[in-house]
Amino acid sequence: MTDLLILWLLLFLWCWDYPADHFLRRLIRLPGGPLVYFGLWHSWAMFAPHPVHLNRRLVALVTLSDGTRQQWQPLSSEGQSLLLRMLYVRSFKFEFSLFSPGGERLYGPVCEFVAQQAAVAGQVVQSIELIRLTQSVNGWSSAERFGAERADRLFQWSPQGQLKC
């Protein structure tokens, strides 16, 4: 029985990297659902010979109706329980989707989500600015682990209408 499980797992992992419309990939769509739901899928961008050398994070600068500004960030994994770390993986992969081609479709819904969170806390949002923070990962021989951080404005949102950047 263990041999069958190992064989099925190897077949599953082999089929995972086929294009979405390939018949082998469609074969594992149903058993692959929990992997996608829990954020356990992988991407070849993390492997050699050319892994991603850039850390990217999302930050939203929220301007409230009284003029104060707050910074909102998706979940963080530092000092969290196992369950919250698992949810962080989902959040991290969602951020990855935002920065991928076609991710700009998600900017408006992310801002609406942040505005809803503020409304639950009794705050009125005047505008939200989505910022992408990037930081290069230096090679092993470098004395510094990371390069300088850079901030790029992705999107400006207001309750009256979306202002694209």
pLDDT digits 0-9 by tens, 38-63: 766 666 666 656 666 778 888 999 99
* Residues 135-146: tens digit of each pLDDT: 888 877 878 888
Query: In the predicted model, is pLDDT for residue 160 greater than 70?
Result: yes
For the sheet with 146-158, list strands across it: 69-72, 54-64, 125-137, 146-158, 161-164
Q: Alpha-carbon torsion 94, 162, 158, 122, what sign?
A: negative
Quote the pLDDT of residue 115: 92
Q: What is the pLDDT of residue 153?
A: 92
Query: What's the pLDDT tens digit per position in 59-114?
Result: 999 999 898 999 988 766 566 777 777 667 667 777 777 887 788 888 999 899 99
**Quick one: pLDDT band at residue 126, thresholds 50, 70, 90?**
very high
